[in-house]
Chains A and B, each alone.
Chain A
Amino acid sequence: MTTGELCIEGLRAEVAGREILRGVSLTVRSGEVHAVMGPNGSGKSTLAHVLMGRPGYRVLDGTVTLDGIDLLALPTWQRARAGLFLGMQHPIEVPGVSLLASLSAARTPPSGDGDDEVVPPDVAGQLAVEADRIGLDRRLLERPLNVDLSGGERKRNETVQLGVLRPRFAVLDEIDSGLDVDALAAVGRRVREATTEWGLGVLAVTHFARLLEVLVPDVVHVMTDGKVVATGGRELAGLVDQAGYAAYR
């Protein structure tokens, strides 16, 4: 297991000319689970996409490093190759493109610097194992990416990809929404296990504490209005769940 850290410092960013992130700082170490909680519009999802480099999200200031690598200087795909994963709140349909083809491509050296001697990893086998671990019907793996999947199936599909790609750090944007109780438990358990299996560091964005009963966080951040306004232990999640965010505005 390696150790490292995802370090966010003074991050400011805008979307469509409007500043959404107004100075976010936090550090996730390998093997840790951090939760980011906050009301709608607090900037949680924006943080997730800014970290991954979504087009249209412009960084104004601050730094993001992964094991010392300047992520903000890299295009999206190289951030992923550097070890960052984003489990999306709304996973996007890609018609005609299979999960197997896309993950095989993600695990293959990019065109140009390919090494013909590299034996392709058993992506299909790993997909099946990961699907079984969280109770996702293997037949759904045959579908084009996210096409005709329910909300909950998409979230489990994201979790399967996390298990196959084995990133250093995962940002999970409301991975709990759309999941029923059993699926939530399975997904939470899988992510928790990844923190010990290969030292995955997790930044889990969520509205509710429900996920955090399974995926128990080491650190909880409360975010409102584009800033982290409180940081504490897992007990903070319980407080927020009972009292809401009013005290932090």
Chain B
Amino acid sequence: MARRTAALEAFSAAPLPSAKEEVWRYSRIDDLDLDRFEPAVPAAGAPRSAVVSSRDLLDPFGPRVAAVVSVDGVLAVAEPAGPDGRDVVVGALAEHSEADALLGAVADAGADLVGLNDACALDPLLVDVAPGARLERPVVVLHVAGADGSAVFPRTVVRVGEGAVASVVEAVVSEQTARRLLAPGAPGVAHSGGAAHEPVPGGTREATGEVVPARALVVPVTELVLGAGASLAYLSVQALAGDVWSLATQVSSLGADASLSSFAVAVGAGYGRLRTDSVLAGAGGSSRLRAAFVGSGDQMLDFRTMQDHAAPRTTSDLLFKGALSGRAHSVYSGLIRIRRGAVRSDARQTNHNLVLDEGAHADSVPNLDIEENDVRCSHASTVGPVDEDQRYYLESRGIDPGTAEELIVAGFFDDIADQVPVAGADALVSRVLGRRLVETEHAEVLRG
């Protein structure tokens, strides 16, 4: 509680972020009006109606070892591990004896809106994997948010003990959007019925070009703490409705010889920002960071990454790929930082953007900050439309232009879709990306 009070005071004392700051450049942060939202508070009794329905929201994630669900920031379901029960604990972080040390262990309260999350997170969640454990199936963490007028601050701490091997799937969703994008079954069926009146992601701007204020705010913070020799596969999915703003932070800290393979899928929210910081704190650590995103309408998807090499012989390999249609806008801004002493480190950073319509736009800004000599770094980025020669080649075989473009866009994601680190989750990723591409009328299916 002391931490929350201090956090709130610190956040209130500091000015709100502004697009004048480099990390907020190009963003829509200046349109954020916090006064429009009420922090969600725990209702008497069950939060919303979702305690029951959120259980079936877990189904699309497939077999799991354990699950934990928050609704409007409040712990709703904690489904402990079965036979593996000793290997992983899931539930409320507050109940853990080391709660104070775990929360904020790797997320810097001064970065982005972490301090606001510190102050406002109601029920931080914990996934605690015991040292040496080997989880055969993923732990699923699901946050249901986006209720009208609400501000929700999901907080998740994942600790993977020394030498443990684990996988985690974390999703932040609006209820109806989740049903439409995530659920198995024919997309045509998922489109109909109750989902019909749900705002499509990206529909937050009126024809005037003015940004319509968000109807809900979500500020998730996830901390991934990997002990020495630990290995974590982490998949995150952001599938919020188009009238929601999401300002998310994922911070990982890797001990010696630890290995992280993360994959972010971002398709929802009118303004969806994801800050990804990976701190390679111990020698020999290795992080592989992937993201795939699809934006349409007036959506803005905004990615800020930091590959922070703080120890010798660390490697990081980043690849973010996205497709944009309509008047959608994406930002990729990434920094590779090699600190003094991080000798023989190897860092790669690549961002490719496919711009499908004239009104769509992508900014791509890779950066290096290298304080050490004996290192290898590379970065590359591209922004461009569908290749005319590729289109001509397919059309010369008798493929109509719409189908040709669908094939090319699906082909653009083909390599990254093969790199989903969580076993069995590749179908989920292909489904989410494929359905969003259908909604943008640019691709029928992603082959998985």
Contacts and interface: CB of A to CB of B under 8 A. Distances in A.
Interface in B391-417: 392-404, 407-408, 410-415
Given A80-B395, A88-B393, A144 B414 contact: yes
Contacts of A161: 397
A65 interface: no
Interface of B: 388-390, 392-404, 407-408, 410-415, 444, 447
A81 interface: yes
A110 B412 contact: no
Interface in A73-128: 75-77, 80-81, 85-86, 88, 91-98, 101-103, 105-107, 110-111
A68 interface: no
Contacts of A88: 393, 396
Contacts of A55: 388, 392
A96 B398 contact: no
A54 B397 CA distance: 12
Given A54-B392, A55-B392, A77 B400 contact: yes
A127 B128 CA distance: 51
A171 to B, nearest CB: 10
A96 B397 contact: no
B402 to A, nearest CB: 6
A95 B393 contact: no
Contacts of A54: 392
A105 B393 contact: no
Nearest to A109: B400
Contacts of B393: 88, 91-92, 94, 145
B446 to A, nearest CB: 10
A50 interface: no
B400 A95 contact: no
Contact of A96 (B396, B402, B403, B415): B415
Interface string A133-177: 000000000001100000000000000010001000000000000
A52 B396 contact: yes
Contacts of A76: 392, 395-396
A111 B402 contact: yes
Interface string A64-76: 0000000000011
A52 B390 CA distance: 14
Interface in A17-75: 52, 54-55, 75
Contacts of B398: 77, 80-81, 106-107, 165
A240 to B, nearest CB: 29
A168 B442 CA distance: 31
Nearest to A81: B398
Contacts of A101: 407, 447
Determine which residue in B389, B396, B402, B415 has the highest number of CB atoms from chain A within 10 A of its CB, and name it.
B396
A114 to B, nearest CB: 11
A110 B395 CA distance: 11
Contact of B390 (A77, A94, A103, A105): A94
B269 to A, nearest CB: 26
B399 A95 contact: no
A174 to B, nearest CB: 16
A96 B392 contact: no
B403 A105 contact: yes
A110 B412 CA distance: 22
A80 B414 CA distance: 27
Determine which residue in A96, A101, A102 has the highest number of CB atoms from chain B within 10 A of its CB, and name it.
A96
Contacts of B412: 95-96
Contacts of A107: 398
Nearest to A83: B398
B390 A92 contact: yes
B100 to A, nearest CB: 48
A96 B411 contact: yes
A102 B392 CA distance: 13
Contacts of B392: 54-55, 76, 92
Contacts of B414: 95-97, 144
A80 B415 contact: no
B445 to A, nearest CB: 10
Contact of A105 (B388, B399, B415, B447): B399
A92 B389 CA distance: 7
Given A54-B392, A55-B388, A55-B392, A165 B411 contact: no
30 contacts: A52-B396, A55-B392, A76-B392, A76-B396, A77-B397, A80-B395, A88-B393, A88-B396, A92-B392, A94-B407, A94-B408, A95-B412, A95-B414, A96-B410, A96-B414, A96-B415, A97-B407, A97-B410, A97-B411, A97-B414, A98-B447, A101-B407, A102-B407, A103-B397, A110-B403, A111-B403, A111-B444, A144-B414, A145-B393, A165-B398
The 7 closest A-B pairs by CB, nearest first: A96-B411, A96-B414, A80-B398, A110-B400, A97-B411, A92-B393, A77-B395
Nearest to A144: B411
B196 to A, nearest CB: 22
A145 B414 CA distance: 13
A91 B390 CA distance: 10
Contacts of B408: 94, 97
B271 to A, nearest CB: 29
A145 B390 CA distance: 10
A169 to B, nearest CB: 13
B401 A75 contact: yes
Contacts of A93: 390
Contacts of B390: 92-94
B411 A77 contact: no
A61 B217 CA distance: 61
A69 to B, nearest CB: 14
Contacts of B402: 110-111
A144 B415 CA distance: 11
A235 B25 CA distance: 71
A106 to B, nearest CB: 4
